[in-house]
Amino acid sequence: MDFLIKSDISAASLRFYDFNGEDLSAEITSPFYSAHLTFTTYMDSYGILNFFQKMAQYWDGWNGNFSWESLEGQCVLSAKTDMLGHISLQVQLMDDFGKEESWTLSATLTIYAGQLENLAREASVFFKKDNGQ
């Protein structure tokens, strides 16, 4: 089972998969770039779910950014809104732990506010089901 977030204005997407309650894999793709990474959500396995639920709760906009970061900073999500009901979801995947050649990929996906409730529902199914609950 996957949790897929597609940009509403481009072919970019963010896919979460292989969640076992602690480790999680993510993949960012577009026609111009792609990257995937497995990281830990240890001690914060519901934080990422709360991130998507909070955006849906404030679908009509919020001040500043909503953010979530994995334990070791390998995956960072940050969302902000504009006055037109667009959400800019900034995604950063970073692999630099103990490697001579590290990499970072940052991408922004635009999501319409009307999609947030559905995304939160899909996140709830994905993160709770794959967490054995």
Could you identify the residue written with the tokens 């969302």?
79
pLDDT the model gives residue 132: 45
What percent of the chain lies above the pLDDT cut of 70?
A: 94
Task: Give the model confidence (pLDDT) of 50-96 as tens digits.
Answer: 999 999 999 999 999 999 999 889 999 999 999 999 999 999 999 97
pLDDT the model gives residue 11: 97
| CATH number assigned to the domain comprising residue 67 | 2.30.31
Q: Rounded to a whole number, what is the largest CA-CA distance in the chain? A: 44
Query: How many domains does the chain divide into?
Result: 1
The answer to whether 8 touches 111, Cβ cutoff 8 Å, is yes
The domain of 56 spans 2-129
